């Protein structure tokens, strides 16, 4: 199966041209949709960082 294009990283400008929107707009929209879906249960960035630190402490560096 042929790929349409190389799987390389796009710059923000390339993303904007291809998708007609800024990648940060898309990110914020997705974040908004997730917040709507989870309501008040959605963890804050601080909580996510804490969960990640906790996970990393219990799993070590085996996934890097």
The predicted model scores a pTM of 0.32
CA distances from 20 to 5, 13, 17, 62 (A): 18, 10, 5, 39
Evaluate if residue 51 carries a pLDDT over 80. yes
Give the three-class secondary structure for 9: coil
Task: State pLDDT tens for residues 8-42.
Answer: 777 777 877 777 777 778 888 888 888 788 777 77
């Amino acid at each position: 199966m042929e790929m349409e294009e190389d799987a390389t990283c796009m710059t923000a400008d390339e993303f904007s041209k291809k998708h007609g929107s800024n990648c940060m707009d898309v990110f914020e929209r997705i974040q908004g949709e997730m917040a709507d879906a989870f309501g008040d249960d959605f963890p804050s960035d601080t909580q996510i960082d804490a969960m990640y630190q906790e996970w990393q402490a219990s799993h070590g560096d085996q996934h890097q």
